[in-house]
Amino acid sequence: MSLIITDECINCDVCEPECPNEAISQGEEIYQIDPNKCTECVGHYDEPQCVQVCPVDCIPKDANHVESEDMLWVKYEKLTGNKRP
């Protein structure tokens, strides 16, 4: 499942550079996550890096984009061209 940034976001700018898939961008009012690019850092890290650095804990799983770990791996492979180890 991809992640989502809630309206508690304070636009602190720390999450965007942490995303290895470049899924995070500045929206009209707060940062947003492109669910087509978010793999929850599967293939890159053990934990989502944006969640790790967020000072206000505003990045939960997005219930509107439910994906299994296998689905996240498939997305990772499509985005990067790398195969699952």
β-bridge partners, 24: 33
**Domain of 28: which CATH number?**
3.30.70.20
Other Cβ atoms within 10 Å of 24 Cβ, number: 22
Residue 24: pLDDT band (50, 70, 90) is very high
Sign of CA dihedral 43, 1, 62, 27: positive
The model's pTM: 0.92
* pLDDT tens string 34-72: 999 999 999 999 999 999 999 999 999 999 999 999 999
Model confidence pLDDT, tens digit, residues 28-42: 999 999 999 999 999
DSSP string, 40-65: TTTTT-SS-HHHHH-TT----B-TTS
Residue 2 falls within a domain, yes or no? no
For residue 63, is it within any domain?
Answer: yes
Residue 3 lies in a domain: no
Q: How many domains in the chain?
A: 1
Domain that holds residue 71: 16-80
End-to-end CA distance of the chain: 20
Asked if residue 75 is part of any domain, the answer here is yes
Q: Which helix (H) or strand (E) holds 75?
A: helix 69-80
Residue at 60 is within a domain? yes
Structural domain contains residue 8: no
Report the pLDDT value the prediction gives residue 1, as an integer from 0 to 100: 78
